[in-house]
């Protein structure tokens, strides 16, 4: 079996970059679970971006991909689920995320009802040849040859070297549930775990870790969910909060988060003291502490220091993400700009 590496990652950018200084290949950004498919001719395994293997959650891919692949290989790509009527299908994140379930019977049922597809976009090994040090240009050409006769559920992502076309994709493909465009340097080798690619998304988002929650002012349900990110030193830091839940969601969150509540020897929930600011005054900032295991994606506008400037908005749960992969490195880096130029 191939050794599955950490996937190559991307840094966020505000706009699709051109390729005048560095040759680029542009791809749609698929909204799914990152997956590395390792097929050695006998066994198929699916690695993930985090520490959680995805093999057991997608039995239909484990069954069908060996029949389609022409030989042993190691593929990088995205696992997606599409729903909707013919002619109006779109990617369905909720249907995909339901596949991360502990019950094999549930996984089997969903694999039949909402089968997954694998969108391949890189070839890391073919036969006994490791291709990771080869330029992406060559890896892509070999991937195209390998998958020339591939059939669903295995697909080859489309690409272009035309930045203007990629900008059109950014606007148009959103209607199909895709969430942006990725620009990949054509002459670069594969760089496991390194953010050498460029992603442009429709919104500024981050994957964060649930640290705890405060009870709503009504005395019932979750009022706000505290979230954090890991720093370069490996320390998990509180970076903000998610609020504005509906009444039903506030109550549901208490139930959903109960297994993660930290408890003392007597079984009582552990209460932490939240960070105070000059705006909090005498306000109660205590919160119910959670084991830092659950990941969620949030929308935010900007950072102030090491924290989100405003309350962030809940986007979705990320059951495919490992909490320790939620670092500051994923956040947008804003280029410096002189205030005098703004005022002029």
- According to the model, what pLDDT value does residue 336 have? 58
Residue 137 token pair = 């240009």
Q: Which residue reads 């094999």 in tokens? A: 104
- According to the model, what pLDDT value does residue 284 have? 59
The answer to whether 183 and 17 are in contact (CB under 8 A) is yes
- According to the model, what pLDDT value does residue 199 have? 94
Q: Specify the pTM.
A: 0.78
184 catalytically annotated: no
Separation between Cα atoms, residue 55 and residue 40, nearest integer Å: 14
Catalytic residue of the set 11, 21, 22, 29? 29
Look at residues 143, 126, 94, 124 and name the one whose alpha carbon lies nearest to residue 319: 94
Considering the four listed CATH numbers 3.30.1130.10, 3.30.470.30, 3.40.50.1820, 3.90.180.10, the one that applies to the domain covering 9-201 is 3.30.470.30
The answer to whether 227 and 238 are in contact (CB under 8 A) is yes
Domain limits, the chain:
9-201, 205-330
pLDDT of the chain, 344 residues: tens digit per residue: 789 999 999 998 989 999 888 999 999 999 999 999 999 999 999 999 877 899 999 999 999 999 999 999 999 999 999 988 878 888 899 899 999 999 999 999 999 999 999 999 999 999 999 999 999 999 999 999 999 989 999 999 999 999 999 999 998 888 888 889 999 999 999 999 999 999 998 778 899 999 999 999 888 899 999 999 999 999 999 999 998 888 898 999 999 999 999 998 888 888 877 654 433 344 556 899 999 999 999 998 777 788 987 889 999 999 999 999 999 998 876 655 543 454 34
Separation between Cα atoms, residue 77 and residue 33, nearest integer Å: 9
Separation between Cα atoms, residue 74 and residue 44, nearest integer Å: 10
Pairing of strands 9-12, 195-201: parallel
Q: Is the N-terminal amide bond of 153 cis, ω within 30° of 0?
A: yes
- According to the model, what pLDDT value does residue 281 have? 43
Return the bridge partners of 82, or none.
91
Architecture category of domain 205-330 in CATH: Beta Barrel (2.40)
Q: Which residue reads 């060559």 in tokens? A: 138
Separation between Cα atoms, residue 121 and residue 136, nearest integer Å: 10
Query: What is the DSSP code (8-state) at residue 234?
Result: S
């Amino acid at each position: 079996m191939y050794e599955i590496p950490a996937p190559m990652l991307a840094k966020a950018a505000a706009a699709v970059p051109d390729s005048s200084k560095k040759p680029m290949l542009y791809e749609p950004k698929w909204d799914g679970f990152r997956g590395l498919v390792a097929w050695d001719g006998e066994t198929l395994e699916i690695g993930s971006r985090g520490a959680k293997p995805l093999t057991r959650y997608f039995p239909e891919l484990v069954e069908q991909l060996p029949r389609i692949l022409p030989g042993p290989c190691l593929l990088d790509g995205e696992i997606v689920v599409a729903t909707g009527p013919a002619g109006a299908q779109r990617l369905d994140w909720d249907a995909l995320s339901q596949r991360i379930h502990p019950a094999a019977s549930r996984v089997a049922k969903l694999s039949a009802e909402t089968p997954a597809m694998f969108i391949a976009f890189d070839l890391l090994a073919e036969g006994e040849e490791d291709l990771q040090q080869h330029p992406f240009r060559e890896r892509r050409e070999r991937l195209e040859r390998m998958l020339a006769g591939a059939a669903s559920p295995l697909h080859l992502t489309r690409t272009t070297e035309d930045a203007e076309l990629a900008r059109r994709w950014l606007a148009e493909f959103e209607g199909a549930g895709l969430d942006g465009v990725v620009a990949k340097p054509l002459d670069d080798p594969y760089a496991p775990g390194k953010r050498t690619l460029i992603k442009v998304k429709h919104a500024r988002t981050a994957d964060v870790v649930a640290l705890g929650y405060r009870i709503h002012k009504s005395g019932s349900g979750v009022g706000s969910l505290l979230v954090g990110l890991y720093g370069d030193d490996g320390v998990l830091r509180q970076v903000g909060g998610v609020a504005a839940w509906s009444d039903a969601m506030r109550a549901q969150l208490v139930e959903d988060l109960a297994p993660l509540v930290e408890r003392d020897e007597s079984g009582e929930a552990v209460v932490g003291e939240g960070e105070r600011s000059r705006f909090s005054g005498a306000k109660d900032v205590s919160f119910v502490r959670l084991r830092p295991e659950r990941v969620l994606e949030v929308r935010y506008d900007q950072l102030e220091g090491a924290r989100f400037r405003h309350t962030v908005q809940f986007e979705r749960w990320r059951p495919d993400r490992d909490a320790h992969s939620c670092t500051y490195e994923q956040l947008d880096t804003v280029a410096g700009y002189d205030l005098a130029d703004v005022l002029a």
